[in-house]
Structure 1
Amino acid sequence: MEDLENRIRQTAFRENNFIGGKLRIASVPVTTTALLSKVLRQYRETYPYVTVEIKEDNPLAVQKMVEEHAVDFAITYAPFGNLDAEILIRDEMVGILPLDSETGIIEISKAADHMILCRAGMETVTERLPAGHGIDFSRSLLVQTAQTVVRMVEEGNGVGLISKFTLSSISHNLRICPIQPPLDTQIGLLAYDLADLTPVAQEFARMIRELCAEMICGG
């Protein structure tokens, strides 16, 4: 009912040649920091009659919000389930080590006992590992945020496994190295039906697409 009332209100606004209503976005913390924050100010200045609500959580919880129509759309990491998804940025997992480490490639199966991952990273790894790689992560250190992964590695507590895009948004003094097996992932725009977004959601999605295109070109 709330979603229907919001759509009716937005239609009335649009008929009077301006956009208003409520925009509900689900996001994982890194996409909030690295993407949403870069367009939010411009969006609010352009559409002052829109109330923006951002809900942050891990990728699986974000996916559930979309499935339950609790948000208009999400910007999150794969997996996307059976929802309507548009890939915005192609990413990969990388290893991070202290600068004095001589390790060339991190083999996940051999490093699992002293590996540090955040919850979102663990979801990506378990979802993307090729079939047949039965790696035991029971002794790995699981933390809440990517920033904690970085700080733990800087203090010599193990090797980190983190997405390259996420790492680019965190200041650090670590060495980046490839992992084996390679694990790719994606950041995407996720909705129940991307073709049926509300007017306020369509405008924000357009701005996010343009930002991601600029980031890729500036690569």
Structure 2
Amino acid sequence: MLPYLRRLIRDEDALLQYSAQIRGLTAGDIYIGSYFSVAANWLPQIIQAFQQAYPAVHVHIEECANKVMYDGLEEGRFDCCITTWRPFSGDWIPLCEDEMVMWLPENHPLARAEVYPLKQLCHESFIEPLPQQDTDVVRILKEEHISYETRYTAIDNYTTYRMVEAGLGVSMNNRLMTAQWQGRVAILPMDPPHTITIGIAIPSRDGASPAVKKFIHYVQQGISQILAPR
């Protein structure tokens, strides 16, 4: 019954938000699932701008992987998620493309190469981030029919990065993940290249509460400004 109870609570909150909107206010709570990279690198400044305009709206961010986010959407735990697309019964709003890259220890034989050939992965110790979470990493390796040995797993991307830095193996992630990190890790494009489309998954864009609709607008506007050429 928990998913149904969560939907009842969300519906009640939406009614309160519409009531506040009629009175010329925007208030309420919104619950967002997000990729770790987006939450850390983009959302703080977007939320800052959003809160200046709508201080009565409380924003709750949960950093998690694809499976948790899409399960949360189905259960009514999240109002929307910033993630990559998976089949689900809802609306999809694309935001941007991000490149998938390989992480190698700085003393790896290919650390100074122009690209990392994915077929090389069968000879490596692979550190898999977020196992059993339907990640883009696993989807790409399956799509390319790459044979690999998962020697280690980690549920935190920064832990994975530090394990690569320690020379325990190689890993894969999206480029945005390391935007603010510095360490003894070589970051290489892959051959063949792959990108992911980051977007917003939402049960119903038209049926979203006023606060969620405004937040989505700020996310779209904020990411466009962040990625705009300077």
Task: Detail structure 1 runs of 4+ shifted over 4 Å in the superposition.
Answer: none
Residue 171 of structure 1, CA deviation: 2.5
Matched position secondary structure for 1:182: coil
Q: Distance in 2 between matches of 1:72 and 1:171?
A: 33
Give unpaired runs (5+ residues) of structure 1. none
The answer to whether structure 1 residue 81 and structure 2 residue 92 are counterparts is no
Match of 1:195 among 203, 206, 216: 206
Deviation at 1:6, TM superposition (A): 0.8
1:1-150 correspondence to structure 2 within 5 Å: 1-76=8-83, 78-82=84-88, 83-103=90-110, 104=113, 105-112=115-122, 113-119=124-130, 123-129=135-141, 131=143, 133-137=145-149, 139-150=150-161
Contact 1:87 1:188 in 2 (8 A): yes
Deviates most, 58-67 or 36-45: 36-45
Question: Match of 1:33, SS?
Answer: helix
Return the alpha-carbon distance in structure 1 between the equivalents of residues 11 and 47 of structure 2.
Answer: 24
Q: Deviations over 1:77-108 (max 9, x none)?
A: x2422332112121121112233444123333
Unaligned ranges ≥5, structure 2: 1-7
Structure 1 residues 159 and 128 mapped into 2: Cα distance closer, same or farther (>3 Å)? closer
Please tell me the residue identity of whatever aligns with 2:87: G
Q: In structure 2, what is the equivalent of residue 172 of structure 1?
A: 183
Residue by residue over 1:116-144, the C-alpha shift from the partner in whole angstroms, topping out at 9 and shown as x without a partner, is 2311797112223464615244x332211
Residue 204 of structure 1 corresponds to: 215
Kept after mapping to 1: 8 A contact 2:94/2:197: yes
Could you say if the C-alpha distance between residues 98 and 130 of structure 1 is closer, same or farther in structure 2, counting changes exceeding 3 Å?
closer
Maintained 8 Å contact 1:91/1:184: yes
For residues 190 and 169 of structure 1, do their structure 2 counterparts lie closer, same or farther at Cα, with a shift above 3 Å needed?
Answer: farther
One-letter identity of the residue aligned with 2:117? E
Residues 117 and 146, structure 1, Cα contact 8 Å, conserved in 2: no
Contact 2:137 2:173 in 1 (8 A): no
- Tell me the matched-pair count: 217
Structure 2 residue matching 1:70: 3-state secondary structure: coil
Residue 215 (1) aligns with residue 226 (2): yes
For 2:185 and 2:26, the matched residues in 1 are separated by: 45
Q: For residues 131 and 34 of structure 1, what CA distance do their matches in structure 2 show?
A: 28
Correspondence for 1:158 among 169, 182, 188? 169
Instruction: Give the 3 Å change call, closer, same or farther, for CA 129–170 of structure 1 in structure 2.
Output: same
User: CA contact under 8 A between 1:92 and 1:185: conserved in structure 2?
Assistant: yes
Q: C-alpha offsets along residues 125-167 of structure 1, whole Å, 9 cap, x if unaligned?
A: 2223464615244x33221122112211222212221211112
Aligned-residue RMSD, C-alpha = 2.3
Letter in 2 for 1:81: P
Note if contact 1:128-1:184 (Cα within 8 Å) is conserved in structure 2. Answer: no
Bigger mean CA offset, 19-28 vs 106-115: 106-115
